[in-house]
């Protein structure tokens, strides 16, 4: 069966100013697939996410979503088309209340009421804090709020950048359980993680990035510790 | 009691106007991080527009209000955001602020142009002029009630928009995290446009209300808005309720001071110093105090991505530049008429004041809006000190003002960025309202600053003063270069690049800032002390400082050449205005227009021109050719083969059109070289061969012709010559752009940026 991938990067090069970071990245995600993007510091993981989300325009190559070439589309246009990105760090507006943060999620077309209902059902703690400023909540709660956007707006593709950053292992496990739920609903997910072990349990496929190119890709379950160690520490 | 009520009502209605203005400032500052100094000018322009529609064209008030506030103002705000402010992302605060100064200058010029001062024009009436109602026995005009009502309505509407609508929430979201707003599907650009639209309407409303009280005068309309800065700062530039509270307090303070100062027991002077200017300076005092008690801003850790980058000046370049500047001035000063000499002299004075901003703003990144205030203090010191202008009194004047500069900086040390800029603005206004109007400083409105007396040389003619000014500028420029190359210079730059990093390395931010302020005040004082003529306090007013800051940034505030360029541009602008009546109106909006383009070229014009000459400076042979050509043209003039005007045209064409193309010419293929060379030769022949002093009858036409020749022949030759393949110099920066990184490149890059695997 050959179904066109939901997301595809073809020979993407991108960078900042005169420093090139990605040197021809090829990547494709099938519908409903969970892909883990792994790699050491400076491999180009976050840059890849920036290119896919539309924040960074590639200097060469193509970004194809659902068979359409969308290279150069703005981040907001992609977001409104159903691409949900949870950026590195905390994906919340610290000076807006929880409710106002959810209001910001309505740009993707849902009603605020629906988003609130879904979110508070999934994370009752956010319901209790709906009038609290997001920046005053704990790191885990903030990350729940940013995941709530992914849960409630029903995206086609979900991009997660370093979800686990700065959080306790217990909370990370809880968050990834939510990611697994989202995946079972048929959403295609691209997860970026530096700590490979936390994500390989959730992912179908793993892609290993190093020095701006894809070093290897394969089934997540087949990535051995040796391969990871080799990629992170160098041959 | 009755009186208290009266003044309370007056105070509240003044406060209401402040509140409307300040809320507009807060809206744009929070959404785009730009403190719009031109906010008041927007209000002024809109008051004029309303007058035009309502009183000149005689349309009904509601129609005029609708057109002004709901059509033209929002359109103006949106256009400002789209075409001016959007290009400013990623630039420093200095550049962002300067662009609003440019906008300010542009709008004042525009208003002067469209609505020249005309005493016979229709009066600007208040709303329901003549109607009033009685409140507790005191007659309150409807205009005052409407003003007050407007503030209340604005407060309610803003509250609803910002907290209950998605657009409003998005406005606040953009402040928090622009990228995240985009990732949510919001469009930050549209949000900013909306904010600028609202803000312009608020400014417009305030302008119209104020004009009802004050009539149509550009200055008070623009400057009363400075008072609103204080309210905005009390609201910490983000809280609207606090802003409204601050505006109310300011209005009341002003009204009560007015009430009290009329009492018999109120002193007219303290220790012989008149208190007459205190009322006008009250809001700026509040501004100063509000800034000082403001909680310390947190030192921000994080990546700084600035578009500016500057090289350390080389001694060789600096000394060569200084010598050739003096040589050029000595050479041409003999040919100038007396009035042109004075104008050029004026340009050099501006250039020295501009130079005072180089160590402070250019190197240390501390914005000051008060350079001329220190120049004014320098002028006073020079005229009051005994010695009648000898070198010792010059040194003393510089030292005194440098100490004053450091003392003024002391309370402002904890401020940075926009807050520091506003504190210096407050200082400038306070000094011109309170100090400069004392009998002890500018007793009869102006004083005479003695001409500098140098041993063995008498400096009496304008020409001698011009040469003296060029020598002084060169010396000060060399001092600034020496500062930059010293340990202190590295500290100043560190202060700009990363205060956090500098502080954690054990550097004293306080001492460094003090030094920067003292040096800057000293240089400005030197410029003032060398005035050598009658000066008036208006010359050193805050509003006069703004164009200096603007042109410093336009010229390129981090280099001595930029200061010279900016200063001469400012001087040259007035030259243009006096000698070219046809373009007089254009020169009104000139500096503003130039500044507005800063968003595209934040390093300033000097850097850009420098880039054009760079290939030249890398080859000594070409420098020699360029210099020989200049000398040759001068020799033609000196031997009276060509006229002064032909000399002017020919040297400008040689320097700006031929010299930058020399490098390209040399490396081009033989055919292209021939074509481009012949083209340039034709240009030089036209420039030098025709006697322009008789061929054209007006100076303006000659200047326009010169610009035309430079454009035609310079750009033309560049087109031809540069099609040749340029010599490719392998640069490490280019690896990865046209070729993949090799393993070694990557390792080197990682090592450089500190990534350790």
B517: exposed, middle or buried (Cβ count in 10 Å: 0-12, 13-18, 19+): buried
Give the pLDDT of residue B729: 35
* Domain co-membership, A1 together with A78: yes
| Candidates A42, A84, A149; nearest CB to B750 | A42
- Output the CA angle B94-B34-B425, nearest 5 degrees: 55
Tell me A7's DSSP state: E
pLDDT at position B70: 93
CA distance A93 to chain B (A): 6
Both A184 and A228 in a single domain? yes
> How far apart are the CA of B556 and the nearest CA of chain A, in angstroms?
22
Three-state secondary structure call for residue B506:
coil
Which pLDDT tens digit goes with each residue over B94-110? 778 888 887 887 787 78
Whether residue B308 is predicted with pLDDT greater than 60 in this model: the reply is no
Q: Please indicate if any CB of chain B lies within 8 Å of the CB of A149.
A: yes
The domain segmentation of chain B, as residue ranges, is 2-111+134-261, 323-563, 618-722, 727-757
Q: Please check whether residues A171 and A122 belong to one and the same domain.
A: no
What domain count does chain A have?
2
Q: Give A-chain residues touching B182 at CB under 8 angstroms.
A: 54-55, 74-76, 79
Q: Does A136 touch chain B if contact means CB atoms closer than 8 Å?
A: no
The pLDDT tens digits for A165-222 are 778 888 888 888 888 888 888 889 999 887 677 777 788 888 888 888 888 888 877 7
A219 and A103, same structural domain?
A: no
Q: What is the pLDDT of residues B122-139, one digit of tens each?
A: 777 777 777 777 776 777
Q: Cα–Cα–Cα angle for B536, B95, B594, nearest 5°?
A: 70
Percent of chain B clearing pLDDT 70 (strictly above): 83
pLDDT at B443: 64
Complex ipTM value? 0.90
Whether residue B746 lies within 8 A of chain A, CB to CB, comes out as yes
| A136, A182: one domain | no
Strand runs labelled E in B531-620: 534-535
Structural domain boundaries enclosing A140: 88-154
Tell me if B187 and A85 make a contact (CB, 8 A cut-off).
no
More confident position, A225 or A5 = A5
Verify that A39 and A104 share a domain, yes or no.
no
In this prediction the pTM is: 0.77
The residue among B84, B134, B89, B127 whose CA lies nearest residue B106 is B84
Would an 8 Å CB–CB cutoff place B730 in contact with chain A? Answer: no
Instruction: Check whether residue A101 and residue A51 sit in a common domain.
Output: no
Residues A78 and A15 in one domain: yes
The predicted structure's pLDDT at residue B723: 54
Task: With a cut of 90, say whether residue B675 has pLDDT above it.
Answer: no
Say if residue B72's pLDDT is above 90: yes
Q: Do B183 and A18 touch (CB under 8 A)?
A: no
Percent of chain A with pLDDT over 70: 93
Average pLDDT score, chain A: 85
Question: Which among A41, A100, A105 has the least Cβ separation from residue B755?
Answer: A41
Shared domain check, A75 and A177: yes
H/E stretch holding A111: none
Tell me how far apart the alpha carbons of residues B611 and B143 are, in angstroms, rounded to a whole number.
57
Q: Both tokens of residue B713? A: 């022949």
* DSSP letter for each residue of A98-116: HHHHHHHGGGGS--HHHHH
Q: A169 with A64, same domain? A: yes
Please state, in angstroms and rounded to a whole number, the distance separating the CA atoms of residues B280 and B430.
8
A27 and A51 in a single domain? The answer is yes
**Gap between the Cα atoms of B329 and A133, Å rounded:** 63
Query: Which of B14-18, B65-69, B403-407, B709-713 has the least mean pLDDT?
Result: B709-713
Q: Average the pLDDT over each of A76-85, B344-353, B439-448, B727-736 and give the range with the smallest value.
A: B727-736
Confidence of residue B582 (pLDDT cuts 50, 70, 90): very low
pLDDT tens-place string over residues B393-444: 899 999 999 999 998 888 777 787 788 888 888 888 888 888 887 766 666 6
Of A154, A178, A207, at which residue does a domain stop? A154
pLDDT range class, residue B745, cuts 50, 70, 90: low
Residues A196 and A171 in one domain: yes
Q: Of the segments A106-110, B119-123, B128-132, B610-614, which one has the largest average pLDDT value?
A: A106-110
The predicted structure's pLDDT at residue B157: 93
Residue B8 CA from chain centroid, whole number: 37
pLDDT tens digits, B226-253: 778 888 888 888 788 889 999 999 999 9
Long-range CB pairs of B112-116 (<8 Å, 24+ gap) are: B112/B218, B112/B588, B113/B585, B113/B588, B113/B589, B114/B48, B115/B48, B115/B52, B115/B216
Cross-chain Cβ contact A74/B741 below 8 Å: no
| Percentage of the residues of chain B whose pLDDT score is greater than 90 | 17
pLDDT for B517 equals 93
Q: Which residues does B316 contact at the CB level (< 8 Å), separation at least 6?
A: none
- Residue A192's φ and ψ, nearest 5 degrees, are -105, 130
Strands, E assignment, B482-545: 534-535
The whole-number average pLDDT for the span B629-648 is 81
| CATH (domain of A162) | 3.40.50.300
Contacts A–B by Cβ distance under 8 A: 92
- Note whether B747 contacts A: Cβ–Cβ < 8 A: no
Residue B582 CB contacts under 8 Å (≥ 6 apart), including other chains: B700
Q: Which residue of A has its CA nearest to B734?
A: A18
Specify the pLDDT at position B731.
39
Q: Which of B170, B183, B740 sits opposite A75 (nearest CB)?
A: B183
* Confidence category of residue B303, pLDDT binned at 50, 70, 90: very low
Specify the length of chain B in residues: 757
- Range scoring the smallest mean pLDDT among A149-153, A157-161, B612-616, B706-710: B612-616
Pairing of strands A68-69, A205-210: unpaired
* SS3 assignment, position A216: strand
Which chain B residues have a beta carbon less than 8 Å from that of A111? none
CA B737 to chain centre: 38
Q: Do A234 and A64 form a contact (C-beta atoms < 8 A)?
A: no
At B196, the pLDDT band (50, 70, 90 cuts) reads very high
Q: B750 pLDDT exceeds 70?
A: no
- C-alpha distance from B746 to closest chain A C-alpha (Å): 8
Q: What is the pLDDT of residues A49-97, one digit of tens each?
A: 999 999 888 988 999 988 888 888 888 889 988 899 998 877 899 889 9
Average confidence score pLDDT of chain B:
80
Has residue B314 got a pLDDT over 70? yes
């Amino acid at each position: 069966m050959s179904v066109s991938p939901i997301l595809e990067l073809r020979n993407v090069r991108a960078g900042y100013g005169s420093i090139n970071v990605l040197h021809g990245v090829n990547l494709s995600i099938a519908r409903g697939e969970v892909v883990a993007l792994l790699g050491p510091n400076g491999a180009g993981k976050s840059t890849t996410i920036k290119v896919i989300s539309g924040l960074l325009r590639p200097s060469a190559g193509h970004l194809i979503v659902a068979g359409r070439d969308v290279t150069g589309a703005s981040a907001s246009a992609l977001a409104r088309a159903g691409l949900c990105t949870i950026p590195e760090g905390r994906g919340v507006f610290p000076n807006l209340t929880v409710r106002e943060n959810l209001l910001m999620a309505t740009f993707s077309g849902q009603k605020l009421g629906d988003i609130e209902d879904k979110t508070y059902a999934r994370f009752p703690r956010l319901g209790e804090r709906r009038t609290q400023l997001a920046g005053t909540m704990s790191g885990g709660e903030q990350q729940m709020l940013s995941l709530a956007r992914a849960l409630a707006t029903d995206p086609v593709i979900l991009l997660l950048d370093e979800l686990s950053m700065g959080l306790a292992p217990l909370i990370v496990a809880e968050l990834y359980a939510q990611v697994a739920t989202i995946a079972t609903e048929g959403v295609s997910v691209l997860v970026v993680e530096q700590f490979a072990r936390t994500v390989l349990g959730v992912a179908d496929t793993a892609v290993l990035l190093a020095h701006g190119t894809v070093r290897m890709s394969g089934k997540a379950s087949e990535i051995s510790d040796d391969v990871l160690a080799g990629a992170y520490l160098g041959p | 009691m009755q009186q208290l009520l009266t003044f309370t009502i007056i105070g509240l209605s003044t406060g209401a106007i402040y509140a409307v203005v300040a809320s507009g400032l807060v809206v744009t500052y929070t959404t785009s991080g730009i403190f719009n100094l031109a906010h008041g000018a927007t209000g002024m322009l809109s008051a004029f527009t309303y007058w035009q529609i309502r009183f000149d064209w005689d349309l009904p008030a509601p129609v005029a209000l609708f057109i002004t506030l709901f059509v033209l103002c929002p359109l103006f705000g949106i256009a400002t955001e789209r075409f001016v402010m959007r290009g400013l992302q990623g630039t420093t605060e200095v550049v962002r602020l300067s662009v609003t100064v440019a906008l300010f200058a542009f709008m004042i010029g525009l208003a002067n142009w469209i609505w020249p001062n005309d005493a016979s024009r229709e009066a600007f009436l208040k709303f329901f002029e003549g109607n009033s109602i009685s409140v507790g026995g005191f007659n309150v005009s409807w205009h005052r009630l409407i003003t007050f009502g407007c503030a209340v309505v604005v407060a309610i509407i803003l509250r609803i928009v910002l907290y209950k609508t998605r657009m409003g929430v998005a406005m606040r979201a953009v402040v928090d995290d622009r990228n995240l707003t985009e990732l949510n599907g919001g469009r930050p650009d549209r949000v900013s446009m909306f904010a600028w639209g609202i803000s312009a309407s608020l400014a417009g409303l305030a302008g119209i209300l104020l004009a009802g009280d004050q009539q149509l005068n550009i200055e008070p309309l623009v400057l009363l808005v400075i008072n609103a800065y204080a309210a905005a700062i009390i609201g910490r530039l983000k809280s609207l309720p606090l802003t409204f509270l601050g505006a109310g307090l300011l209005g009341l303070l002003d009204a009560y001071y007015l009430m009290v100062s009329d009492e018999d027991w109120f002193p007219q002077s303290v220790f012989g110093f008149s208190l007459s200017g205190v009322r006008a300076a009250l809001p700026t005092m509040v501004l100063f105090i509000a800034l000082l008690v403001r909680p310390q801003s947190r030192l921000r850790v994080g990546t700084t991505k600035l578009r500016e980058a500057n090289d350390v000046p080389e001694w060789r370049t600096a000394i060569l530049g200084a010598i050739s500047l003096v040589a050029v001035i000595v050479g041409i000063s003999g040919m100038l008429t007396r009035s042109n000499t004075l104008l050029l002299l004026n340009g050099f004075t501006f250039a020295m004041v501009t130079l005072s901003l180089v160590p402070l703003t250019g190197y240390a990144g501390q914005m000051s809006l008060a350079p001329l205030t220190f120049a004014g203090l320098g002028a006073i010191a020079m005229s009051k000190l005994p010695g009648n202008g000898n070198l010792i009194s010059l040194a003393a004047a510089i030292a005194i003002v440098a100490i004053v500069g450091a003392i003024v900086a002391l309370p402002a040390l904890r401020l940075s960025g926009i807050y520091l800029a506003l504190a210096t603005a407050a200082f400038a206004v306070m000094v011109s309202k309170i100090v400069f109007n004392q009998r002890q400083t500018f007793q009869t409105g102006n004083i005479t600053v003695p001409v500098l007396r140098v041993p063995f040389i008498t400096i009496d003619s304008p020409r001698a003063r011009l040469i003296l000014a060029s020598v002084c500028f060169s010396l000060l420029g060399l001092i600034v270069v020496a500062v930059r190359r010293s340990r202190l210079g590295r500290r100043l730059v560190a202060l700009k690049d990363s205060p956090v990093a500098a502080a954690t390395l054990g550097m004293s931010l306080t001492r460094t800032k003090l030094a920067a302020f003292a040096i800057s005040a000293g240089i400005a004082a030197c410029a003032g002390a060398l005035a050598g003529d009658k000066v008036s306090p208006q010359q050193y007013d805050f509003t006069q400082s703004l164009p200096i800051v603007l042109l410093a940034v336009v010229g390129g505030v981090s280099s001595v050449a930029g200061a010279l360029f900016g200063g001469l541009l400012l001087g040259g602008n007035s030259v243009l205005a006096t000698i070219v009546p046809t373009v007089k109106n254009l020169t009104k909006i000139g500096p503003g227009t130039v500044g507005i383009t800063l968003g595209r070229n934040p390093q300033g014009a000097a850097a850009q021109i420098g880039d054009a000459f760079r290939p030249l400076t890398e080859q000594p042979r070409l420098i020699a050719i360029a210099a020989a050509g200049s000398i040759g043209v001068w020799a033609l003039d000196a031997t009276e083969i060509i006229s002064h005007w032909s000399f002017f045209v020919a040297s400008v064409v040689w320097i700006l059109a031929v010299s930058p193309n020399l490098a390209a010419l040399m490396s081009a293929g033989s055919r292209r070289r021939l074509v481009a060379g012949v083209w340039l030769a034709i240009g030089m022949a036209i420039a030098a061969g025709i006697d322009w002093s008789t061929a054209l009858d007006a100076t303006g036409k000659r200047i326009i012709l010169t610009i035309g020749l430079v454009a035609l022949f310079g750009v033309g030759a560049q087109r031809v010559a540069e099609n040749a393949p340029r010599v490719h110099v392998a640069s490490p920066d280019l690896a990865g752009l046209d070729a993949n990184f090799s393993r070694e490149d990557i390792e080197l890059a990682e090592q450089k940026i500190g990534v350790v695997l």
